[in-house]
A and B are shown apart, each in its own frame.
Chain A
């Protein structure tokens, strides 16, 4: 597979197809980052478009000091931050308590997934979103870049303009908070299930 660096060099020289390949390669991760940051599909799509447009226009200024993907992530996070500032919204929309029953019928359910697994996965997804929403922005971003995008501590430090140790502290604190909240959430869910089961069988 052609490397990002090679495609960037070709795109900078005017090869539009090369830039198209970069878009195809990175569109999904960029959308995932924007969606998890904003929790809004429409706005996340707008951010992806803007991010690639800015990248295209800024290709000549991209010196390759960082990876192309890191550069794109940084542009995306800046756009998300601009959007949140403009809209004066919380970075992540609050997830309602419990699980939305409509989520059970989500189209993404694997065909072979049992109903119980589907319900459990949806419950966990809602719990994760709720717990992530309550983290400070820096911790949440560090966790997203590490967990969902596999960036190294060093890359996250460069993206967040902070020392390496700060990134690790953010990760550690964020994971600790998530751990407590998810454990509490799972205990609560188990209790509700038990009560529901008891009330239906009694």
Chain B
């Protein structure tokens, strides 16, 4: 391999100083392999120009407004899970209170079976406090098997204590629970709608892409047909 290889490359790509150029030109007069390299590399460089790059529309839309993220994507997963749990608990509480309202008394199931004990609420019953609600909800969940912690609890035959509420508190809690369940349902509906909207949008985008690809393919086939026709014509003329 010729020692002047690097200088020959400088010469080939016009990166040699005038002095080096003259030296390389003198060298080429006496070095057949380098002359052959120069000739072949120039031919390769010309061939490389045949590799076109397809035309593309601008891919850059600088400083476009930030796309609006749907609200349900902005809520962290843990918050969604917490909200769902809260809705479940409140729903269970609402169910228990509704049963009480319909029966005219609080009827608490014990150990999965409906208690036969129906008690008339005493007008002077103490207002239901937060602890009582929690106890009620936990018991309801344990009986319906929805609470993982309660599931592990052995079934007891001890009758559940009956929680009494005054009618005003009961109505207030029922209304609140109904309202929260309604909010939860509306939120779930919005989630489903958002999901369906995204699916529909994705399908539409895919449909458009497919349509464009098909159109381009058809155009190519038409052009190919024209080229082939031309070739056949030329061949016929030659024959």
From B15, B40, B59, B234, give the contact of A27 (CB < 8 A).
B59
Kindly state the separation between the CA atoms of A165 and B40 in the bound complex, as whole angstroms. Answer: 21
Interface majority SS (helix, strand, loop, mixed), chain B: helix
Q: Across the interface, do A20 and B50 meet the contact criterion of CB distance under 8 Å? A: no
Nearest CB on B from A157, distance (A): 12
For residue A48, give the distance in angstroms from its CB to the closest CB of chain B. Answer: 5
Asked if residues B62 and A124 are in contact (CB atoms below 8 Å), the reply is: no
| Smallest Cβ-Cβ distance to B238: which chain A residue | A201
**Does A146 contact B52, Cβ atoms closer than 8 Å?**
no
Q: List the interface of chain A (C-beta within 8 A of B).
A: 16, 19-20, 23-24, 27, 31-32, 35-36, 41, 45, 48-49, 52, 56, 101-102, 104-108, 115, 118, 121, 124-125, 127-129, 132, 143, 146-148, 152-153, 165, 168, 171-172, 175-176, 178-179, 182, 200-201
Contacting pair A147 B48 (CB below 8 A):
yes
Tell me if A121 and B50 are in contact (CB < 8 A). yes
A35–B60 CB distance below 8 A: no
Q: How far is the CA of A105 from the CA of B230 in the complex (A)?
A: 12
Of the A-B pairs whose beta carbons lie under 8 Å apart in the complex, a sample of 19, sorted by A's number, is A24-B58, A32-B53, A45-B59, A49-B60, A52-B60, A52-B62, A102-B220, A104-B227, A105-B221, A105-B227, A115-B227, A115-B230, A115-B231, A128-B48, A148-B48, A168-B5, A168-B9, A171-B9, A172-B5
Partner of A124, one of B37, B40, B47, B224: B47
Question: Once bound together, how far apart are the Cα atoms of A115 and B226, in whole Å?
Answer: 10
A165 touches B6 (CB 8 A): yes
List residues of chain A with CB within 8 A of the CB of B55: 107-108
Distance in Å: Cβ of B215 to nearest Cβ of chain A: 12
* B contact residues, range: 35 or more
* B190-239 residues at the A interface, CB under 8 angstroms: 219-224, 226-227, 230-231, 234-235, 239
B45 touches A147 (CB 8 A): yes
Given contacts A104-B223, A178-B44, 15 further A-B contacts (CB under 8 A): A16-B63, A36-B51, A36-B53, A41-B54, A49-B60, A102-B220, A104-B224, A104-B227, A115-B234, A121-B50, A125-B50, A128-B50, A175-B41, A179-B41, A182-B47
Looking across the interface, which residue of chain A has its beta carbon closest to that of B216?
A107
The distance in angstroms between the C-alpha atoms of A111 and B58, with both chains bound, is 24
- Whether the pair A108, B40 counts as a contact (CB closer than 8 A) is no
CA separation between A179 and B44, bound complex, in Å? 6
Interchain nearest-CB distance for A109 vs B (Å): 9
Contacts A27-B60, A172-B5 hold; do A179 and B227 have CB atoms under 8 A apart? no
4 closest cross-chain pairs (CB), A and B? A105-B223, A124-B50, A32-B53, A125-B50
Closest to B53 in A: A32
Query: Is B26 positioned at the interface, with any CB of A under 8 Å from its CB?
Result: no
Cβ contact of A35, chosen from B41, B53, B219, B226, cutoff 8 A = B53
Bound Cα distance A19, B235 (Å): 54
Which residue on B lies nearest to A180, using beta carbons? Answer: B40
- For A106, the chain B residues whose CB sits under 8 A away are 52, 220
Q: Which residues of A contact B230 (CB under 8 A)?
A: 115
For A32, the chain B residues whose CB sits under 8 A away are 53
Q: Is B156 an interface residue (CB 8 A)?
A: no
CB neighbours of B48 from chain A (8 A): 128, 143, 147-148, 178
